[in-house]
Amino acid sequence: MLRYSRAFLAAALLGLAAALVPVHAEVSSARSRATYDPIVDAVIARYHLPGIAVGVIENGQVVYTRTAGETVAGSGEKITPQTLFKIASNSKAMTTALLGRLVDQGKLRWDDPVTKYLPQFRMHDAWVTANMRVADLLTHSSGLPEGGGDLMLWPEPNTFTRADIIHGLRYIEPGYSFRSQYQYDNLLYVVAGEVAAAAGGAPYETLMRREVFEPLGLDRCQVGSWNRDAVGNVAQPHYRHDGRNVPMHEDGATIPAITSAPAGGIRCDLTDMLAWARNWLVPTPAQLQWLSWPQRATLQAPHMLIPVSTQRRQWDNTHVMAYGYGWRMADVDGAWAVWHTGTLGGMYSMLALLPDRQSGFVFMINGEAEDARTVLGEVLMKHFTAPQERRGVAWYADALDEQVKQRPASASAPDTSARQPVGPAELAAFTGIYRDPWLGEAAVCPRGGQLRFAAKKSPRLAGTVMRLGTRYFVHWDDAGVDPDAWMDFHAAGDGPATLRMAKFDPQGDFSSDYEDLRFERVGDCP
């Protein structure tokens, strides 16, 4: 017989009461509009966003929604609460919820070894392989360097499979010792998705739809392959160029299944993301049957400490920050906050919860918006944690701009105005086919009078080799592949030539993990 504590029953009754109050996500009160519209308007104006969807929950109820802009800049197709956005790494919490479901069903244990479900799984170190638990896949403390192996996931499209990722992990050298520190990675969430598939007896995408989307009524969320026109109302990513928003890598008629789905490949609309958030803040009895209190507590408990930045200490008076299973958490002005962000090629998102206040917010943007996300997230959070504070959008935006101005030149991308294409003769001793143990083959070969770099399994990693001063770098053809990469060739006596690479811009996204590549020359150009 199941026995429930008074606290459990009280929470269940509160969730039931909240569920009985009708939620009109498209309608906001005059008070809420007066509070939140100026914030959203200021962020849109400051950062020239192509489109945004924002929702706020207070005391368990959706009190504000706002959509603005277009699915594609210049198209006239307006963003609505039903517009699908890439939620990127906010997918991780959905993956861990799926795993929690399997734990509740007795099909999985958090402390099971990964090799119980994936016998082919190997890390660089044999001891780590033997001791890697399912839980260790989720806390960014495996020893993988920050963003290690992400070039097998992005840029998309590429031909890397989940089996390729599981195989490639053994070749990625650790950046620190197992379980000793936090360094964000994505590959192990892909592995976690395969663990779920093995334990659940169905592909990850099938399980996500069956075990998460359907029970929670997330009717618009999409994973795997789907038809763009049949689903409809899909936001496209953008980048800023010459002062305007330019669509990038627009979807075709069929959205393909992607390898990265468990780490960052789910798309949802505002209505479903608000329903997802309320499931955590004020779960109904049915939702508590869907995922038990013990699993909910496990997912959002601190499992790995994260260093607290100076900015977070100064802005939020934060003392402790940690990672759970698919969630970050910290004290913010004395309140406990649980959140995650998502970043994926022209799409930015954030979902934040204040569990003790049954409040939170979510927003999604379809443009280059790293600073916009930081500012909007900070101002919305302060509404709950420090309402007396008068710092608004302009203050936080100016503070970020000032940080860039104070950054030393060595921490920024160099001026490339003097760059020159490299002729084939200049690097004739180093042309050829190179191979990295996990990224695979790449050609450094003449074409059209220039020297070109092209990765075999990642077609968007293609560009022209340039010289800047005495150094060489590859300038990618695709403006959406950023940053460019330094190329350092080395002769190795009687051995093969080698190629090492590094981010051209030290502030570039950590998923551009060129530093982890170990290319060796394996053949001549065709």
CA 267 to chain centre: 12
Task: Assess whether pLDDT exceeds 50 at residue 24.
Answer: no
User: What is the Cα–Cα distance from 329 to 324, expressed in whole angstroms?
Assistant: 7
User: How far from the centroid of its chain's Cα atoms is residue 113's Cα?
Assistant: 25
Confidence check: pLDDT of 56 > 80: yes
Q: Which amino acid is at 21?
A: V
| Token reading at 148 | 């290690």
The pLDDT, as a whole number, for residue 292 is 98
Residues 6 or more apart from 451 whose CB is under 8 A from it? Answer: 421, 422, 423, 424, 426, 427, 431, 444, 445, 464, 465
DSSP state string for 180-210: SS----SHHHHHHHHHHHHHHTS-HHHHHII
pLDDT at position 144 over 80:
yes
Q: Is the pLDDT of residue 27 over 80?
A: no
User: CB atoms < 10 A from the CB of 192, how many?
Assistant: 27
Residue 422: predicted pLDDT: 95
Nearest alpha-carbon partner for 183 in 518, 525, 516: 516
Q: How far is CA 30 from the centre of its chain?
A: 34
Give residue-wise pLDDT tens across range 399-437. Answer: 999 999 998 988 888 999 999 999 999 999 999 999 999
**CA–CA gap between residue 364 and residue 8 (Å, rounded):** 33
Strand pairing partners for 322?
A: 305, 329
pLDDT of residue 21: 39
pLDDT at 494: 86
User: Can you give the pLDDT at residue 235?
Assistant: 98
User: How many CA atoms, within 13 angstroms, populate the side-chain half-sphere of residue 327?
Assistant: 27
**Longest CA–CA separation in the chain, Å:** 79
**Separation CA 84–CA 67 (nearest Å):** 12
Ranges 4-13, 190-199, 200-209, 301-310: which has the least confidence: 4-13
**What span, in angstroms and rounded, lies between the C-alpha atoms of 39 and 509?**
27
CB 95 within 8 A of CB 189: yes
- Report pLDDT for 383: 97
The CATH classification of domain 102-200, taken from the options 1.20.58, 3.30.1460, 2.20.25, 3.40.50: 1.20.58
Give the closest residue to 264 by CA, choosing from 323, 188, 210, 161: 188
Helix (H, G, I), strand (E, B) or coil at 372: helix
Q: Which residues, 6 or more positions from 12, have their beta carbon under 8 angstroms from its beta carbon?
A: 4, 283, 284, 285, 288
Number of CB atoms found within 10 A of residue 422's CB: 21
- Reduce the DSSP state of residue 79 to 3 states and report it: coil
The pLDDT assigned to 193 comes to 98
Q: Side-chain half-sphere of 34: how many Cα atoms within 13 Å?
A: 3
Alpha-carbon distances of 11 from 18, 274, 329, 337, rounded to whole Å: 10, 19, 21, 19
Spell out where 374-417 has E strands. Answer: none
pTM: 0.93
Q: What are the CA-CA distances from residue 254 to residues 265, 286, 424 (Å)?
A: 15, 34, 40
Q: Give the tokens for residue 101.
A: 């479901």
Q: How far is CA 130 from CA 115, 170, 187, in A?
A: 7, 13, 18
**One CATH from 2.50.20, 3.10.450, 2.40.128, 2.60.120 for 420-523:** 2.40.128
| Residue 66 DSSP SS3 | strand
> How far apart are alpha carbons 444 and 376 in whole angstroms?
43
Q: Is the pLDDT of residue 17 over 80?
A: no
Outline where DSSP puts E strands in 144-261: 226-227, 238-241, 244-247, 254-255
Banded model confidence at residue 19, pLDDT cuts 50, 70, 90: very low
Counted residue by residue, the chain has a size of 526
Share of the chain above pLDDT 90, in %: 91
- pLDDT, tens digit (0-9, with 9 covering 90-100), for 449-477: 999 999 999 999 999 999 999 999 999 99
Burial class (CB in 10 A: 0-12, 13-18, 19+), 403: exposed
Tell me what the mean pLDDT of segment 324-330 comes to: 98
pLDDT of res. 479? 85
149 close to 163: Cβ distance less than 8 angstroms: no
**In the CATH scheme, what is the homologous superfamily, with its name and number, of domain 6-71+78-84+221-404?**
DD-peptidase/beta-lactamase superfamily (3.40.710.10)
**137-151, 411-425, 493-507: range with highest mean pLDDT:** 137-151
Confidence of residue 492 (pLDDT cuts 50, 70, 90): confident
Q: Mean of the pLDDT values across residues 238-248?
A: 95
Give the start-to-end residue ranges of the domains of the chain. 6-71+78-84+221-404, 102-200, 420-523
Q: List pLDDT tens digits, range 285-300.
A: 999 999 999 999 999 9
Per-residue pLDDT at 29: 87
pLDDT tens-digit readout, 39-54? 999 999 999 999 999 9
User: Lowest mean pLDDT: which of 8-17, 94-103, 326-335?
Assistant: 8-17
CA distances from 98 to 193, 208, 314, 454 (A): 9, 7, 36, 37
pLDDT score, position 452: 98
pLDDT at residue 409, as a whole number: 83
**Per-residue confidence at 25, pLDDT binned at 50, 70, 90?**
very low
Cα angle for residues 410, 412, 417 (degrees, 5° grid): 105
First to last CA, the chain: 71
pLDDT number for residue 6: 40
